[in-house]
Amino acid sequence: MRLRILGCSGSSYPGHQSPAFLLEDNLLVDAGTVSAALDAEEQSRIEAVLITHPHLDHVKGLAGLAENLLITGSTCSIHVYGIEAVLNILKKHLFNGLIWPDFGVIPEESKPIIRWEILEPYKNSTVSGYTVVPIPVCHTVPASGFLITSQSTRILFTGDTGPTEAIWRYATELSLLIVEVSFPNALEDLALRSGHLTPHLLEIELTKLPDAPRRLVVMHLKSIYRQQIIAELAGIALHHIEVMEDEDVYQL
């Protein structure tokens, strides 16, 4: 399995793109950046998008992707998956014909650019050949992480979350764990209020893992605190922690 990082930052600054992760060529996890990272042919290969939560930095690229598929004459729909509360927010507040066109009915209701696909929490679904399980996490809006498995690979994305519980029950025999850390330790109160983690909070969360993942990668660092967060992550014992960067590629 090939995982390409289109963006992984927790704030928008030059050279720091919003979260979007491309599995092989056809499955996108979050859509903070797409059209800025992929050319027209690459965008046309995307079959499905998993959305962790409806915050703008995780969905804004979906607006551009849908428009690009329309204007290039694509006859295929992209299937956008998420838990029901997340999809309802996107349809009501973004793809509503006011903030952005309703690509759930464009160009035709019977052949829309976007097909909304509800995932049931904790239940297996097949998405573009992968088995996907959405697991609710603790954020300020409805949110889920995703366990994505193929025959030989298990990836767990937390998405944005503060201290949480249920998702760690799925953290067994992982090829890759991708977890967020947004703020340095000095801003723990802000992290907790906004549903995020610090290195210290991550260290506590890691005690909940049933077993250690093969690789543990941190994403969503606030750009202005990036070096401080990296220094604090280095102090966490027992786990080798990698810090994700835009344009990284993982072969799993």
Nearest-CA neighbor of 10 among 57, 42, 44?
A: 57
* C-alpha pair distances (Å), 128 with each of 4, 16, 23, 27, 188: 16, 28, 10, 7, 38
Distance CA 68, CA 154 (A): 32
- In whole angstroms, give the CA distance from residue 172 to residue 156: 9
For residues 23 and 1, is the Cβ–Cβ distance under 8 A? yes
Question: What is the chain's pLDDT, residue by residue, as a tens digit (252 residues)?
Answer: 999 999 999 998 888 999 999 999 999 999 999 988 999 999 999 999 999 999 999 999 999 999 999 999 988 899 999 999 999 999 999 999 999 999 999 999 999 999 999 999 999 999 999 999 999 999 999 999 999 999 889 999 999 999 999 999 999 999 999 999 999 999 999 999 999 999 999 999 999 999 999 999 999 999 999 999 999 999 998 889 999 999 999 999
The number of distinct structural domains making up the chain is 1
* Coil vs helix vs strand at 242: strand
pLDDT for 74 equals 86
Amino acid 12: pLDDT: 85
What's residue 76's pLDDT? Answer: 87
pLDDT at 239: 85
CATH of the domain at 144: 3.60.15.10
- The pLDDT, as a whole number, for residue 196 is 98
Q: How far apart are alpha carbons 214 and 161 in whole angstroms?
A: 21
- Classify residue 39 as exposed, middle or buried by CB count within 10 Å of its CB (0-12, 13-18, 19+): exposed
Nearest alpha-carbon partner for 185 in 240, 137, 222: 222
Return the structure tokens found at 2. 């090939």
144-149 and 130-136 as β-strands: parallel, antiparallel, unpaired?
antiparallel
pTM: 0.97
Q: Which domain holds residue 212?
A: 2-251
